[in-house]
Amino acid sequence: MAKQHASLLTQYLIKPALLGFIVAALVLAVLPLVQQPTESSRVATASDLVSFADAVELAAPAVVNIYTTQSSHPNAHLQGPPTLRLGSGVIMNAKGFILTARHVVSNVDQIRVALQDGRVFGAQLIGSDSLTDLAVLRIAADNLAVIPRNDSYTPRVGDVVLAIGNPYNIGQTVTQGIISATGRNNPDNAYSEFIRMDAAINEGNSGGALVNSRGELVGINSGRYLSEQGEELTGISFSVAYHLAERVMEQIIAEGSVTRGYFGVEARHAFHPELNIPGVVIERIEPEGPAHLAGLRPGDFLVRINGVELKSLNQALDMVAATRPGTSIRIDFVRQQQYLTTEAVIQHLRVPEE
C-alpha cells in the first residue's frame, strides 16, 4: 500500500510537479526571448529577422544635415573662397530647436539645415557651450519630426546603439555599435558626461544622434577619440549623454549660454585615514579664488557642501558647477582632526574660448 502510494505519488504529484518545474524552467529560458520582442515591439519587424529598421524609421527623420560657410579668414589678407563645413544635428522639439556639436557651428557665418524630407532652412545659433561641445540652433519650420526620447532610459555598457548622421555628405547613414563605457570617461573633459561607443563615426557625423534599439535618443555624437599622436582612432567615439545635453540645451534656450560655478581648487577624492569617511582633499588653491577667500588651505579635507556628504569628486564638481555665481555655499571640512565650517562665495567659471 505504501509502495502503491509511492507510485501514486510519483504519478500524480511528483510527475506533474516535475513537469511543472520543467515548464517553469522552459518559461524562464524562453521568457527573455518571448518578452524581448513584445517589450521592444518596435524593434522586431514584421519580417522574420532581427532588425533595427523600426528604430531607424522613428529616429532618422529627426536627424538633420548641417552645412556651414565661413567666408572671412581671421587673417584678412588670407581671405579666399568661403570654407564649407559639414555636420549633423538633432531636432529636439516641434518649435524647431536643434542640438548639434559646438565645433560644427562655431566661428561660421552662415548655417543651413537640411531636413530628410528635402527642405532646407537657414538656422539661427541660439547659443553654445564649449565644455560639453554642444550648440543649440533654431529653424523656423512646421511639421518637424522630433527625436523620440525616454527619460527613464539609462544607458548601460553593452546596449546596442545606432549613430545617425551625414558622414562626408554622402547622405544620411546609420551605423551600429554598442555602448563601450558610460559616465565621465573622457580624461580630457571633467564636465561632460560621455557615452563611449564603437559605432563608426566620421567627419560630418558630429552633432548627429546616437539612439538605442527603440530609436530613443542616447546622446549627441561628438567625435572620435584622438590618440596622443593626434590620430583619430576607429572604434572609439564619444557622444554627449542625452540627459546632460538636454540640461545644457534648456539653459542655452533660457539664457543663451551655460553658467557654471567656480570654486578655485584642485582636488582629489579620498578617504580620511583616521576618520575613515569619504571626502575631497584640496591639493592646490587658486589665489584670490572662492576657496582661498573662504580661508581654505591645501590639505583640508572637505566632508560636506551645504550639508550634503561628498562621495566623489564629480559630485563636488557638479554641485559647485550648478551653483549660481555670487551665491555662497557652506563647507564642512576637517583640518588636523578638527571639524570646521566655512562659507565660500562661488564665482563664475571662465572657459577659454577658442
Partner 1 sequence: MKRLYILMALLALSLTSITSFAQVPFAQLEQRMGTPTLAPMLEQATPAVVNISVEGVRVTRQRIPDAFRHFFGQQEQTREQPFQGLGSGVIIDAQEGYVVTNNHVVEGASDITVTLNDGRTFSATILGTDPESDIALLKLDEPSNLKELPLANSDELRVGDFAIAIGNPFGLGQTVTSGIVSALGRGGFAGGRLENYIQTDAAINRGNSGGALVDLNGRLIGINTAILGSTGNIGIGFAIPSNMMKNLVDQILEFGEVRRGILGVRGRDLDQQLADALGIDRTQGAWVSEVIQDSAAQQAGLQAGDVIVSINGTQLHSMTELAAKVGAAGAGREVRLGIIRDGRELSLNVKLSEAETTVTAATMHPALRGATLQNNGGNGLRVTGIEVKSPAEQIGLAEGDVIVAVNRRPVNSVTELRSLLERSKGVTALTITRGNRQLYLLLPN
Instruction: Compute the least distance from the CB of residue 222 to partner 1, in Å.
Output: 16
Our CA dihedral for 13, 18, 23, 29, rounded to 10 degrees, sits at 160
Question: Which residues are CB-neighbours of 328 under 8 A, at least 6 positions away?
Answer: 343, 344, 345, 346
Would you say 258 and 250 are in contact if contact means Cβ atoms under 8 Å apart?
no
Give the nearer residue to partner 1 in terms of CB position, either 107 or 234: 234
Stretch that binds partner 1, among 9-17, 80-88, 128-136, 321-329 (CB under 8 A): 9-17
Give the nearer residue to partner 1 in terms of CB position, either 22 or 84: 22
Instruction: Compute the least distance from the CB of residue 150 to partner 1, in Å.
Output: 18
Catalytic site residue from 88, 103, 129, 239: 103
Catalytic site residue from 54, 129, 133, 332: 133
> How far apart are the C-alpha atoms of 170 and 310, rounded to whole Å?
48
> How far apart are the C-alpha atoms of 6 and 1, rounded to whole Å?
8
Would you say 301 and 334 are in contact if contact means Cβ atoms under 8 Å apart?
yes
Residue 34 lies near partner 1 (rule: CB under 8 A): yes
Taken in order 116, 122, 126, 129, the sign of the CA dihedral is positive
Is 206 labeled as catalytic in the residue annotation?
Answer: yes
Give the nearer residue to partner 1 in terms of CB position, either 50 or 157: 50
* Residues 139-198 within binding reach of partner 1 (CB under 8 A): 162, 167-168, 170-176
Give the nearer residue to partner 1 in terms of CB position, either 52 or 242: 52
Taken in order 244, 127, 221, 150, the sign of the CA dihedral is positive
Instruction: Compute the least distance from the CB of residue 15 to partner 1, in Å.
Output: 7
Instruction: Compute the least distance from the CB of residue 46 to partner 1, in Å.
Output: 10
x/- mask, partner 1, residues 220-239, rule CB under 8 A, reads: --------------x-----
Give the nearer residue to partner 1 in terms of CB position, either 18 or 322: 18
Residue 12 lies near partner 1 (rule: CB under 8 A): yes
Beta strands at 261-262 and 265-271: parallel, antiparallel or unpaired:
unpaired
In this structure, what DSSP letter does residue 76 have?
G
Instruction: Compute the least distance from the CB of residue 97 to partner 1, in Å.
Output: 20
3-state SS, residue 319:
helix
Is 103 labeled as catalytic in the residue annotation?
Answer: yes
**Count of residues interacting with partner 1 (CB under 8 A):** 48
Would you say 329 and 316 are in contact if contact means Cβ atoms under 8 Å apart?
no
209 burial type by CB count under 10 A (0-12 exposed, 13-18 middle, 19+ buried): buried
Instruction: Compute the least distance from the CB of residue 227 to partner 1, in Å.
Output: 15
Q: What are the grid coordinates assigned to 165, written together?
A: 548622421
Is 133 labeled as catalytic in the residue annotation?
Answer: yes
- HSE on the CB side for 22, CA within 13 Å? 6
For residue 137, list its beta bridge partners: 98, 125
Give the nearer residue to partner 1 in terms of CB position, either 201 or 316: 201
User: From the list 27, 157, 226, 308, which residue makes contact with partner 1 (rule: CB under 8 A)?
Assistant: 27
> How far apart are the C-alpha atoms of 84 and 77, rounded to whole Å?
19
Q: Which of 279, 269, 113 is nearest to 184 (CA)?
A: 269
Q: What is the CA radius of gyration of the chain?
A: 27
Residue 23 lies near partner 1 (rule: CB under 8 A): yes
x/- mask, partner 1, residues 46-85, rule CB under 8 A, reads: -xxxxxxxxxxx--x-------------------------
Give the nearer residue to partner 1 in terms of CB position, either 49 or 78: 49
Stretch that binds partner 1, among 116-124, 183-191, 277-285, 341-349 (CB under 8 A): 116-124
Catalytic residues: 103, 133, 206
Interface positions with partner 1 (CB under 8 A): 12-13, 15-16, 19-20, 22-23, 26-27, 30, 33-34, 37, 44-45, 47-57, 60, 115, 117-120, 162, 167-168, 170-176, 199-202, 234
